[in-house]
Amino acid sequence: MTSIPGILVIDDEIGICEGIKRALTPQGFRVEMALNGEEGLLKVRDGAIDLVLLDVMMPGASGIDLLASIHAHDPEIVCIIITGYATVELAVRAIKQGAYDFLTKPFTVDDLLLAVNQGVERKRLSLEARRAQEIEAEGRRLAEESVRLEELNRAKQQFIRLVTHELQAPISAIEYYLNLILEGYVPADKMPETVQKCILRAQEERALIVDLLELGNIQVLEEHNQSIPVQLGTILQDVMETFQEQIAQKKIVCSVTIAPDLPPVYGMPDQFKSLWSNLISNAIKYSYENGMVTVTLRAKGLSLIGEVTDTGIGIPTEDQPQLFTEFFRAKNAKALNIPGTGLGLVIARKVVEAAGGHILVASGCSPPASMPGTSTTFSFIIPVTKA
């Protein structure tokens, strides 16, 4: 609302318009006039109008008919109906359409000033209430943002502590073994074994660094929203080729089923390659020899569903809720000394969520009688529409 309230009179009687202008201008109002509805709407759209005095009976559109158009432009404009034919029915209709008050012709200058002053004050209070609501909403938003940032900062600090610990462990082990060698505590016949331990820990360190870099890369791509259409089936076929040697070494029965004519999903090809690689790598790694790994990709509605099932060591029920958190590894996997960084499933989750989907795990079902182990299935659902 401007410092000088803007009043618009829409009335086809020039005498009424001039009379209102003469009465209001000395009171500090800026008064504009329009002799029909079309001209009045143009002046409303030009802006700086706080209150409109509308004649009901005009050629063309009546004053009540103009109420909706005025409020469509600015809901805060106060409208006062001017009429020489005031009835209850007319009042009800006008109020329903958004009129604030009535002036019945003929009216006095005092009646006019009272109605206009009340209308202008009503707009002022309405604007102040809206500003207060906006300030309150902004305050709530800032408070929520502050809480979110604090949570992110705590998560970041926790993640840094975890990363530091995980990175230090292999280095400490390597340093320990090398010191044993330097100080002569390792006999010649044990030297290859000790060096091999150093190599294994170095490989753990490298795998961890690779996964950490991949996590960071996923975050960068999410922020820049660089998604493109990707054929999940083609990527799955390419990924399976890279695991053929491991499958043969463990004598695993592997089945891959890709439904025909699948639509693309949206994301980055390298990320979806990581998704398949991590899930299939885990299925092979945690399977027993002569076990079974089954991979399927199919459509359901407007989504694609991918599933990777193995007949391996299974996942304890109490460990399943934590599977997709950083550096977590199930206790049976750690007990068997199966290598892993605890980040593969985190990467898989982030890739799926970045594509607008979600990932699930189910473990504990009985596999086929001819296969050892426990059936574990990781399934993800990704929409084919862009996230």
Least confident of 2-16, 158-172, 185-199, 309-323: 158-172
Kindly report the number of other CB atoms within 10 A of residue 319's CB atom: 17
Integer CA distances (angstroms), 110 to 23, 24, 159, 313, 379, in order? 9, 10, 72, 90, 76
pLDDT, position 147: 82
Residue 287: DSSP 8-state: B
Q: Where are the domains of the chain?
A: 6-107, 227-387
Strand-strand pairing, 6-10 and 51-55:
parallel
pLDDT in tens, 160-177: 666 666 677 778 888 888
* Burial (Cβ within 10 Å: 0-12, 13-18, ≥19) of residue 110: exposed
| Range 255-262 average pLDDT | 95
pLDDT in tens, 99-109: 888 888 888 99
Counts of helices then strands in the chain (DSSP H, E): 11, 12
pLDDT > 80? residue 341:
no
pLDDT > 60? residue 372:
no
Kindly report the number of other CB atoms within 10 A of residue 49's CB atom: 22
pLDDT, position 320: 87
pLDDT in tens, 220-237: 655 556 788 999 999 999
Spatial neighbors of 222 by CB under 8 A, at least 6 apart, are 350, 354
pLDDT > 80? residue 265:
yes
pLDDT, position 209: 79
pLDDT, position 227: 80
Kindly report the number of other CB atoms within 10 A of residue 189's CB atom: 7
CATH placement of domain 6-107 = 3.40.50.2300
pLDDT, position 300: 93
| Range 180-208 average pLDDT | 87
Backbone dihedral region for residue 69 (phi beyond 0: left; psi -120 to 50: alpha; all else: beta): alpha
User: Where does the pLDDT of residue 357 fall: very low under 50, low under 70, confident under 90, or very high at 90 and above?
Assistant: very high
Beta strands in the chain (DSSP E): 6-10, 30-34, 51-55, 78-83, 101-104, 228-230, 253-258, 265-267, 292-300, 303-312, 358-365, 374-383
pLDDT in tens, 54-94: 888 787 777 888 888 898 888 889 999 888 776 667 777 77
pLDDT > 80? residue 305:
yes
Mean per-residue pLDDT over the chain, rounded: 85
| Range 36-61 average pLDDT | 86
| CATH, domain 227-387, list 3.40.50.1220, 3.30.390.50, 3.40.640.10, 3.30.565.10 | 3.30.565.10
Which three-class secondary structure state does DSSP give residue 32?
strand
pLDDT, position 113: 92
| Residue 258 β-bridge partners | 297
